[in-house]
């Protein structure tokens, strides 16, 4: 399928009009922009009062088309811009000619690490969480799920597919990722001409200086098979940024899912001994939440860790591992000393109220966001990073709850920055103070803002030693903790690995005791994480693992090391909520049955054949069973509930 010619032929056909939203105090205004000239793929838009000018141009880039946009303040006064709206082409027919709206699938890529990522049909509701506190932590208040069938949105990029023809189109954001981009599809019955798109740039409350020009993030369009356009998009981003993946994804141990915040040095030392003696190629050992006095009070430790942080880091390094430490640099709890003594650090709205970032019972209630642009807070953050890296000696920094630095409605000390730029400014400070050597992992982070600022990124919600909890269904969020939602994100966001960063699919747990997961679910978890090629963090108390559990982790480490250099893709991510075919072109493919009952499973291999045309046979990783020649449809017979089959791919 070729790129639709209109994408690079006519700007006005792509963007017939535009609008800039502004804010002054509590007053909001909309400046409607009209097209005033168009020539050779370049267009100019101006509002009636000549306050703002928008310039748009296009060029071919790889297999797609790249668009560049510039926004100018034409006034002699500053202008606070909040959004740029681009109501796009007139009908879905322009992208997917003759498509039946009932057979359209739309990929929603959520805002941050934990946000829902999955494909939707016209009749499916993108569920909005019932509680605002849940939305704060799992969604973007500026782009909440619609809770209405056919009203679909995505952030950073989307894929829109015709499930009958197999054709799809990708619309995506390119660098420098200084704004948040929302892509809306209003999918209406009665024919594709009634359906329409809209693109929205979110600046937060950025102030544009008099006569200043702002280069916006670019746009990129391509068409083809869904997995192919996703691969091409992330390859384009890697080419643009110059990203080079490390030699392999790391293997480590993390304290969180065994102990949560109930840790002490003795528990850590016991696990360090087990990890060191296991013989597995561990790279890092991470101390998670529970070492600090309070959220925001990172220069003070709990009594059990008083004076022992450097000692622990030195011991981890002596064991041949990189010492890792968790902290949440832009979050502060109400019960912390920082909250009480430095209210000026907090993000506040135009009326001066501190903005809540969420609720966490482990942190004793509500927590707030901090202004990453405030000079005194930046001094404090510099001191924290210096203490962690230079004084204590930690080399692997897990930076969590990062969305707290860019909350909707926050007035920044640095007026010229967008929400995305504020967060990036804070992350660049952490990198500058930590130096080039430490690994920085982002978590709870708006994904686009992490490009170029983190080495690894959590790409899904928290996992757990259970499938899903009832409260996740009651609260109506696909971001609720548990293995189900974590695995879905691992599968769908797998193409980000090796192009933007090292994917962090969250921890694995191999223990068969003290868990609510069945054997099939544990194995499916290990298979999905291995084929993803991302980093692997084990979160089991080492003394509880049987020899067979350690052997399973050894297999996981071997396959993951092979897959870390491959490109992973869920081949059916546009066809179902949780994909069932997961391929890595390093030579592995996994098949899943996510249904609760036993199912007789047959898998159409057409997408696999198109992606790996040299494949001639599949060899079962456990039994050695050989499938040759490759059939058009692979019949795996009865598969247990939430089970998997993993195969090595042999090529001619």
Give the residue from 154, 89, 147 showing the smallest Cα distance to 117: 154
Give me the phi and psi of 162, to 5 degrees please: -95, 110
354 strand-pairing partners: 348
Q: How many CB atoms lie within 10 A of CB 127?
A: 15
Residues 367-384: b if buried by 16+ CB within 10 A, e if exposed: bbbbbbbbeebbebbeeb
Give the span between the Cα atoms of 313 and 294, in whole angstroms.
20
Joined together, the tokens standing for residue 269 give 């030392």
Give the span between the Cα atoms of 183 and 198, in whole angstroms.
6
Among candidate residues 47, 231, 400, 549, the one labeled active-site is: 400
Pairing mode, strands 633-639 and 27-39: unpaired
Give me the phi and psi of 547, to 5 degrees please: -60, -35
Give the residue from 460, 456, 509, 512 showing the smallest Cα distance to 481: 460
Q: Annotated catalytic, 371?
A: no
Give the span between the Cα atoms of 136 and 532, in whole angstroms.
28
Q: Annotated catalytic, 620?
A: no
- Beta carbons of 206 and 217 less than 8 angstroms apart: no
Give the span between the Cα atoms of 11 and 14, in whole angstroms.
5
Residues 514-525: b if buried by 16+ CB within 10 A, e if exposed: ebebeebbbbbb
- Beta carbons of 469 and 500 less than 8 angstroms apart: no
Residue 521 three-state SS: helix
The one-character DSSP state at 497 is B
Give the span between the Cα atoms of 213 and 73, in whole angstroms.
6
Give the span between the Cα atoms of 445 and 155, in whole angstroms.
13
Residue 278 three-state SS: coil
The Cα-based distances of 200 to 5, 18, 185, 391, 535 in angstroms read 23, 10, 12, 44, 33
Among candidate residues 217, 455, 462, 465, the one labeled active-site is: 462
Joined together, the tokens standing for residue 619 give 């060899």
Joined together, the tokens standing for residue 107 give 């990929």
What amino acid positions are annotated as catalytic residues? Answer: 400, 462
């Amino acid at each position: 399928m070729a790129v639709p010619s209109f994408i690079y032929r006519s700007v006005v056909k792509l963007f017939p009009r535009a609008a800039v939203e502004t804010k002054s105090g509590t007053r909001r205004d909309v400046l409607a922009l009209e097209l005033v000239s168009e020539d050779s793929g370049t267009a100019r838009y101006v509002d009636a009062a000549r306050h703002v000018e928008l310039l748009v141009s296009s060029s071919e880039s790889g297999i797609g088309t790249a668009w560049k946009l510039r926004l100018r303040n034409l006034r002699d006064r500053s202008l606070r811009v909040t959004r740029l709206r681009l109501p796009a082409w007139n009908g879905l027919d322009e992208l997917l000619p003759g498509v039946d709206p009932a057979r359209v699938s739309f990929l929603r890529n959520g805002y941050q690490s934990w946000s829902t990522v999955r494909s939707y049909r016209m009749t499916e509701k993108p569920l909005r969480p019932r509680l605002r506190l849940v939305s704060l932590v799992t969604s973007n208040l500026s782009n909440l799920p619609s809770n209405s069938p056919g009203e679909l949105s995505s952030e950073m990029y989307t894929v829109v597919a015709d499930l009958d023809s197999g054709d799809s189109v990708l619309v995506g954001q390119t660098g420098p990722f200084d704004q948040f981009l929302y892509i809306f599809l209003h999918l209406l019955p009665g024919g594709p001409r009634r359906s329409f798109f809209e693109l929205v740039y979110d600046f937060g409350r950025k102030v544009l200086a008099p006569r200043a020009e702002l280069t916006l993030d670019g746009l990129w369009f391509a068409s083809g098979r869904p997995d192919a356009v996703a691969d091409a998009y992330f390859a384009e981003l890697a080419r643009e940024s110059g990203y080079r993946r490390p030699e392999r994804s790391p293997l480590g141990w993390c304290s969180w899912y065994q102990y949560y915040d109930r840790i002490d040095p003795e528990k850590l030392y016991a696990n360090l001994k087990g990890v060191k003696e296991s013989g597995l190629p561990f790279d890092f050992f991470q101390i998670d939440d529970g070492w600090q006095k309070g959220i925001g009070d990172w220069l003070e430790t709990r009594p059990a860790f008083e004076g022992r942080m450097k000692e622990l880091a030195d011991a981890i390094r002596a064991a041949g591992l990189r010492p890792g430490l968790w902290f949440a640099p832009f979050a502060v709890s109400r019960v912390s000393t920082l909250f009480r003594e430095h209210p000026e650090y907090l993000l506040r709205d135009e009326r001066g109220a501190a903005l809540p970032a969420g609720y966490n019972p482990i942190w004793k209630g509500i927590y707030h966001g901090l202004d990453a642009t405030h000079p005194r807070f930046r001094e404090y953050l510099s001191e924290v990073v210096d203490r962690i890296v230079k004084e204590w000696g930690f080399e692997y920094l897990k930076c969590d709850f990062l969305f707290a630095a860019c909350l909707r409605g926050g007035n920044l000390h640095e007026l010229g920055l967008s929400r995305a730029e504020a967060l990036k400014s804070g992350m660049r400070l952490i990198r500058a103070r930590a130096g080039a050597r430490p690994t920085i992992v982002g978590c709870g982070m708006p994904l686009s803002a992490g490009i170029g600022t983190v080495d690894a990124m959590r790409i899904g919600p928290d996992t757990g030693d259970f499938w899903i909890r009832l409260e996740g269904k009651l609260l109506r969020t696909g971001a609720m903790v548990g293995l189900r939602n974590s695995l879905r994100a691992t599968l769908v966001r797998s193409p980000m690995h090796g192009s933007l960063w090292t994917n962090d699919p969250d921890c694995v747990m191999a223990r068969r005791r003290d868990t609510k997961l069945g054997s099939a679910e544990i194995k499916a978890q290990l298979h999905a994480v291995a084929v993803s090629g991302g980093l692997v963090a084990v979160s089991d108390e080492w003394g509880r693992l049987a020899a067979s559990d350690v052997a399973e982790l050894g297999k996981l480490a071997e396959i993951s090391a092979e897959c870390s250099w491959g490109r992973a893709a869920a081949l059916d991510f546009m066809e179902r909520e949780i994909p069932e075919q997961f391929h890595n072109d390093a030579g592995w493919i996994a098949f899943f049955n996510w249904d609760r009952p036993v199912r007789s499973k047959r898998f159409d291999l057409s997408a696999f054949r198109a992606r790996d045309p040299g494949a001639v046979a599949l060899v079962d990783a456990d039994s050695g069973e050989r499938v040759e020649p490759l059939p058009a449809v692979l019949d795996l017979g009865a598969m247990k509930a939430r089970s998997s089959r993993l195969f090595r791919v042999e090529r001619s």
